[in-house]
Amino acid sequence: MPVELDPLLFGEIDPPQRLLMGPGPVNAHPRVLRAMSADLLGQFDPEMTGYMEQVMALYRPIFGTQNRWTMLVDGTARAGIEAALVSLVAPGETVLIVNFGRFGLLLTEILTRIGARIETVEAPWGEVVPLAAIEEAIARTSPRLVATIHGDTSTTMAQPLEGFGALCRAAGALSYVDATATIGGMELAADRWDVDVVTGGLQKCLGGPSGSAPITISDAAAEHIFARRHTEAGIRMKGLEDGQGPRIASNYFDLAMIMDYWSEKRLNHHTEATSMLYAARECARVALGEGLAARYDRHTRSGRAMAAGLRAMGLTVFGDDAHRMTNVTGVHIPDSVDGEAVRAMLRVSFEIEIGTAFGPLQGRIWRLGAMGYNAMKHKVLITLGALEASLRAHGFVLPLGQAVPAAIEAWDSAGVGETA
């Protein structure tokens, strides 16, 4: 039944102070929340376009790129994915999807609606796809685009991408990487990987709210997209010729128009989501202020500490250990406990959220994240202590008091990351 309108209009916004240790969204950095309280600006005010230019500059190092076209799509991370795919791919074109989890399936889903001819190269959930298999699949399928996921939170696996873009380029294919779950937490190297388009979101390792999707586009991909430019009749201007390529199937996600909006042409498209742009800007300032190497190291330590603590409880960590994401850890739910009851106790007694799972892993694993503002030693330790108590309360027999010291040792061990 629909909720009835409360005469008191439901009261002031007052969410519980909950520690979000799932696969995202996670708690935002307080600086990011405060940045969103800044007053708004007209979308073509010089200060506003100045902030847009700053956002472009701030996200280049985060993506590991010099790409001019580095900006935001106004929507959640999924909006960035669809904008990339609908702008790159025309109906009937072949796309090779490197699929190892739910978000690979999402690429398939979006591309099916675009009308692409879809080929896949797959790994079982919990593994990644070897580069040699990708190379073989490219040779077999001659794709226009190769699309993959960097870190797929559904399986906690991180696909290695060194050499990926070169394989695509050698075969004349463009490349796309969804980095929603890794941006700001694991190194992105768009230029070194030689990939064409990478998209992300704020709500995981960047420590911001969902609702803005950073994107970077290589010059080659931008040229491909501009060849499909069809400017709206209401705002055509001199010097903006329509392209000869097939019209992009979405207006909102037309990256040619979005690039024209973010260029000095300032062609009107959507009305930029100003508060979310402020949030994206502050996320990047926090990340670059910390230093990316230090930030990635912090995530690495968090992931290792989490895994060490879980193992010290006698639990089994999920997936190929060599390719696990640093910022989210899957763990098998013991047969003897009701996973949802344990999760509920964590939420109700400890105000801590950990994640459930999708598809074939639903009911089989939990997913524990330590992302962005939550990738901190004390938050990992608190979560492990609370999980131990909750498991014990549900009758699971485990060695008491081992998880936290094991996690501390893993966190403190030298040589973990680049700056350790």
User: Within 199-218, which residues bind a copy of itself (CB under 8 A)?
Assistant: 201, 203, 209-212
Q: Are 73 and 197 in contact (CB under 8 A)?
A: no
| Cα–Cα distance list, 249 to 68, 71, 87, 224 (Å) | 24, 21, 8, 15
Instruction: Find the part of the chain contacting a copy of itself (CB under 8 A) among 72-80, 185-193, 375-383, 388-396.
Output: 72-80
Would you say 80 or 416 has its CB closer to a copy of itself? Answer: 80
Measure the CA–CA gap between 340 and 393, rounded to whole angstroms.
Answer: 13
Measure the CA–CA gap between 385 and 171, rounded to whole angstroms.
Answer: 51
| Chosen residue from 34, 140, 265, 392 binding a copy of itself by CB under 8 A | 34
> 30 phi and psi, to 5 degrees?
-55, -35
Would you say 260 or 282 has its CB closer to a copy of itself? Answer: 282
Residue 157's SS3 state is: strand
Shortest separation between residue 69's beta carbon and a copy of itself, angstroms: 10
| Chosen residue from 244, 289, 378, 414 binding a copy of itself by CB under 8 A | 289
Per CB under 8 A, which of residues 13..32 are in contact with a copy of itself?
Answer: 13-18, 20, 22, 24-28
Q: Are 99 and 121 in contact (CB under 8 A)?
A: yes
Pairing relation of β-strands 145-149 and 174-178?
parallel
| Cα–Cα distance list, 219 to 85, 128, 222, 268, 271 (Å) | 16, 29, 5, 22, 25
Instruction: Find the part of the chain contacting a copy of itself (CB under 8 A) among 169-177, 189-197, 251-259, 321-329.
Output: 251-259
Q: Is 133 in the site for a copy of itself (CB under 8 A)?
A: no
Would you say 91 or 130 has its CB closer to a copy of itself? Answer: 91
DSSP code per residue over 383-417? HHHHHHHHHHHTT----TT-HHHHHHHHHH-TTSS
Site string for a copy of itself, 139-168 (x = CB under 8 A): ---------------x--------------
Determine the straight-line distance between the first and last CA of the chain, rounded to whole angstroms. 54
Instruction: Find the part of the chain contacting a copy of itself (CB under 8 A) among 33-41, 160-168, 383-391, 400-408.
Output: 33-41
| Chosen residue from 124, 172, 291, 359 binding a copy of itself by CB under 8 A | 359
Number of neighbours of residue 182 by Cβ within 10 angstroms: 30
Q: Is 58 in the site for a copy of itself (CB under 8 A)?
A: yes
Q: Is 411 in the site for a copy of itself (CB under 8 A)?
A: no
Per CB under 8 A, which of residues 294..333 are in contact with a copy of itself?
Answer: none
| Chosen residue from 68, 169, 266, 377 binding a copy of itself by CB under 8 A | 68
Residue 49's SS3 state is: helix
Q: Is 90 in the site for a copy of itself (CB under 8 A)?
A: no
Residues that bind a copy of itself (rule: CB under 8 A) add up to a total of: 100
